[in-house]
A and B are shown apart, each in its own frame.
Chain A
């Protein structure tokens, strides 16, 4: 079981209380599609993803970014049970969506960078470490149902 220190718990909950899910979700997800273009393979139905400008202004990218943040919030709300929280989503990503799980941390990196640019000095190395730990637990939980 994951052990969270009080500092880590507070840091994660603080970050999620401060950020706008629509803004951060859109920014992180569009960066993922731009910086790691092979991730576009999973979003064939999203319309125009031909270049950075198209991705940034794509409404389906924006709404999916928000969906991702809302899913992450579930983990924040129950940090002691992230593995259980994501059991269904893990099966979905494995069996239906067939996403290579190595891609999960790519999105994680982009989210870290967007959160860093939003929080600036408040995103200290210690807060950054807590956030990275949270993302690692989320990714590990999403990988659990792959076989």
Chain B
């Protein structure tokens, strides 16, 4: 899929970041409860709660930023990688988990536009983002 087509699909997300991000994080915490261990400092881990909504928006803003840095994800996500490696210490296996849940949400929100071609491009992109986030771990 061409980069243009990929970015064109991602443009659909504009304005829906909070909704999509919130749904993705909600699903991750519900469907893969082991991920809740990273959020024990939140008062409310239920789907759609305030901290979940806020974090969903944070994540989506970062993913949209990564789309703009697609030609140099390692460089562009350097400080985020350091954050996840040294401060948050998230097991990198979880990046795949959140990525899958984001794809599920995109399928529910854009059932007609989330074609197999978009799906593979998105999966590949999120895997590349995960790799870039894992850079500083060791």
Contacts and interface: CB of A to CB of B under 8 A. Distances in A.
A22 to B, nearest CB: 17
Given A128-B27, A128-B31, A129-B30, A121 B116 contact: no
A114 to B, nearest CB: 7
Contacts, number: 58
Contacts of B103: 109, 113
Contacts of A114: 107
Nearest to B103: A113
A34 B119 contact: yes
A116 interface: yes
Interface in A41-60: 52, 55-56
Nearest to B112: A117
| Interface size, B (range) | 20 to 34
B50 interface: no
Contacts of A83: none
B108 A121 contact: yes
Interface string B68-102: 00000000000000000000000000000000100
B120 A117 contact: no
Nearest to A33: B116
Nearest to A105: B100
A121 to B, nearest CB: 7
A31 B116 contact: yes
A35 B108 contact: no
B57 to A, nearest CB: 17
B114 interface: yes
Contacts of B32: 132
Contacts of A129: 30-31
A104 interface: no
A117 B111 contact: yes
Contacts of A31: 116, 119
Contact of B117 (A52, A113, A117): A52
B51 interface: no
B26 A116 contact: no
Contacts of B26: 125
Interface of A: 30-31, 34-35, 52, 55-56, 109, 112-114, 116-121, 123-126, 128-129, 132
Given A117-B114, A123-B104, 15 more contacts: A34-B117, A34-B119, A109-B100, A109-B103, A112-B104, A113-B104, A113-B114, A116-B107, A116-B108, A117-B107, A117-B108, A119-B108, A120-B111, A124-B47, A129-B31
